[in-house]
Amino acid sequence: MKLPFQLDRYTLVHRIGVGAFGQVYRAEVRGDMGFVSDFAVKVLEANVVADTPNVARALADEARILSQLDHPNIVKVVDFKHIEHPLLGDVYFMVMECVRGTDVGTLLRRLVARQRSVPATAVLHMGLMISDALAHAHALQNRDGETVCIVHRDLKPQNLMVNFRGQVKVLDFGIAKATDDDRLAQRTQEGQTKGTVFYMSPEQLAGDPLDGRSDIYSLGTILYELLMGTRLLDVEVNTAAELVRAMHTAFELDIESRLDALRSHLEANHNGALSQEAIGGWIGLLRAPLQKDRSYRPDSAASFSQQ
């Protein structure tokens, strides 16, 4: 579509992202006396909806999940619409708060290109914000007071936005899973894996049932990458065969050798001057969530925040 484009009361002015099922735009809503408010609008492609009707229901589920989450470090959903557009036909779109900033993946790439590392203090603050957001999602209760148990399942640097005030926002709960069967139209079949292999927990790679400890593992891999500048699972995945090899490598990953490399990196002051006590604290902090057996990880994101 040619921009600007009017969609209901939202004026799409700039494309900010492209996904498998649609596109995300920065949109404006104008009111009286010069009032302008910005939003992010995720629009499903009409041909995708026609070919795969369940995609629209999945977006509605995503909107319903996110609308229940009220946390400063989670992108807020403010609207969900289905309209009959004279040119586009059936249009489904979700309206979210617009985060002005950049995603953590882009931030990391820029720093690595300049041979710079993220200061350890910044990583600590980012980790606290993300783990607090996860704790809120994991503990969410429905109107009957029952815990919904939302698991993000696709936590990665690209799904973490940093705004211009340094605040981290978790986004894209599009493949999130709630244990309440009424929450999601597209069920996760046993043995099916979704998400990004570099940040998946071992149990997610195996297709096992998940709980919040899977997200904690993913967060541990992100914190490691923020400090080290390289992924914990540092392999190339461009083909199906490489994906299979990457999954095998993930199961065989020697966490202690990775932590030894991180210790050397921290001792070289790449992330700022740290005492031996602080370095030991970082190693212990990351060892806990990166355990392959989830029973040895922190039992909740709230307890990980406290650590």
Q: Containing H/E element for 77?
A: strand 77-85
Helices then strands, counting H and E runs in the chain, come out as 10, 9
| 210 neighbors 177 (Cβ within 8 angstroms) | yes
252: its two tokens: 């065989």
Total Cβ atoms within 10 A of residue 269: 11
In the set 61, 103, 132, 154, the catalytic residue is 154
Q: Edge-to-edge strand order for the sheet containing 22-30?
A: 5-7, 10-18, 22-30, 36-44, 89-97, 77-85
289: its two tokens: 């969530």
| 188 neighbors 208 (Cβ within 8 angstroms) | no
Secondary structure (3-state) at 262:
helix
What interhelical angle do 104-113 and 212-228 show, nearest 10? 20
**Phi, psi (degrees; rounded to nearest 5) at 2:** -85, 130
Known catalytic residue: 32? no
Residue of 87, 85, 5, 90 lying closest to 41 (CA atoms): 5
What interhelical angle do 255-267 and 276-287 show, nearest 10? 150
Rounded CA-CA distance 259/252 in Å is: 15
Residue of 123, 110, 225 lying closest to 166 (CA atoms): 123
Give whole-number Cα distances, 225 to 64, 87, 150, 167, 285, in Å: 32, 45, 25, 19, 14
Residues annotated as catalytic (active site), given as ranges? 154
